[in-house]
Amino acid sequence: DDIKIQYHPASKLASKIYHFQEFNRGGDTETDVPLSETPWDPFPSRIDFDFAKFTLSAALSRDEIDALINMCHRIASGEEHLSFNSHVDVQNTWALASSTVTPFTKHVITVPYKGEQRSYDLYTRDIWEYCKDILRNP
């Protein structure tokens, strides 16, 4: 009724045999397992791991990852400077940019359906003004 614990070969820990009465389900303490100095292996560095994890969690496409890497290199080389400090800066700049083009106008369309009136929101732009926006800033 003995219990044998075999560790993964990479841990370089020897197997241990416990008599059933001595066995503790909690196992050995955390300090018995050697901590890796580079837990991000096989990534070359911690920042490479963090970057790859971010692109995975953000579900970026190959083209988006390449574009992000390109931006990072341009910033790191000093070729460009990123002025955003938070998501608020990005949102505020998008709001400012959206005010420079023809806005959408909301219309409520009401239609009969199965004996009752249903309302739907419809957003449109003035096509003439929108075309002028495009011609001013292709």
Give pLDDT, residue 24.
Answer: 67
User: How far apart, in whole angstroms, are the C-alpha atoms of residue 24 and residue 26?
Assistant: 5
* pLDDT tens track for 4-15: 889 998 888 899
Reported as a pLDDT band with limits 50, 70 and 90, residue 25 is low
User: How far apart, in whole angstroms, are the C-alpha atoms of residue 98 and residue 88?
Assistant: 15
User: How far apart, in whole angstroms, are the C-alpha atoms of residue 72 and residue 51?
Assistant: 11
Reported as a pLDDT band with limits 50, 70 and 90, residue 37 is confident
Contact by Cβ (8 Å): 5, 18: yes
Interval 74-95 mean pLDDT? 95
Contact by Cβ (8 Å): 51, 36: no
Per-residue pLDDT at 16 exceeds 80: yes
Q: What is the pTM of this model?
A: 0.55
